[in-house]
Amino acid sequence: MTSFIDRLQHSFFDTFREQGNLHFSPVLPARLVDPIIVSHNRLLAEELGIATTDLDQPEMLELMSGNFMAANVKPVALVYSGHQFGVWAGQLGDGRAMTLGELPVGTDASLWDIQLKGAGPTPYSRFSDGRAVLRSSIREYLCSEAMHGLGIATTRALCLVDSKTQVYREEIESGATVCRVAQSHIRFGSFEHFHYRKEPDAVRALADYVIQRHFPEWVKDTDRYLKFFRNTVFKTARMIAQWQSVGFNHGVMNTDNMSILGDTIDYGPFGFLDSYNPDFICNHTDANGRYAFKNQPSVGLWNLNALATALTSLISNEDLIAELTKYEPEFLQQFRQIMTTKLGLQTYASGDEQLINQLLDLMDTNQVDYTILFRSLCEFSDSNQTLRDQFTDREGFDDWAKNYSRRLQQQDWTDLQRREQMLSINPKFVLRNYMAQACIEKAQKGDYSEVHRLLEVMQSPYKDHPKAEEYASLPPDWAGQISISCSS
Give me the active site residues, please.
256
Residue 98: strand pairing partners: 116
Q: Name which of 225, 234, 399 is nearest 319 in CA terms.
A: 225
Residue 162: strand pairing partners: 36
The DSSP string of 323-365 is HHTTHHHHHHHHHHHHHHHHTT-SS--TTHHHHHHHHHHHHHH
Tell me how far apart the alpha carbons of residues 253 and 486 are, in angstroms, rounded to a whole number: 11
Question: In whole angstroms, how far apart are CA 126 and each of 39, 94, 129, 262, 484?
Answer: 30, 10, 9, 27, 22
335 and 342 Cβ atoms separated by less than 8 Å: no
Question: In whole angstroms, how far apart are CA 112 and each of 132, 155, 294, 443?
Answer: 22, 10, 32, 29
Tell me how far apart the alpha carbons of residues 225 and 315 are, in angstroms, rounded to a whole number: 7
Question: Side chain identity at 154, as an amino acid letter?
Answer: T
Q: For residue 23, give every residue at least 6 positions away whose Cβ sits within 8 Å of its Cβ, in sequence order, or none.
A: 16, 78, 79, 202, 205, 206
Q: Name which of 156, 82, 170 is nearest 126 in CA terms.
A: 82
CA atoms within 13 A on the CB side of 450: 20
Q: Would the CA dihedral through 422, 428, 429, 430 be positive or negative? A: positive
55 and 40 Cβ atoms separated by less than 8 Å: yes
Q: Name which of 153, 129, 125, 155 is nearest 141 in CA terms.
A: 155
Three-state DSSP class for 93?
Answer: coil
Tell me how far apart the alpha carbons of residues 475 and 429 are, in angstroms, rounded to a whole number: 12
What b/e sequence results for 51-82 when a residue is b if at least 16 CB atoms lie within 10 Å of its CB, and e otherwise? eeebbeeeebbbbbbbbbeeeebbbbbbbbbb
The 3-class SS string of 372-397 reads: HHHHHHCCCCCCCHHHHCCCCCHHHH
Tell me how far apart the alpha carbons of residues 463 and 377 are, in angstroms, rounded to a whole number: 16
Question: In whole angstroms, how far apart are CA 387 and each of 72, 104, 393, 394, 420?
Answer: 58, 48, 12, 9, 18
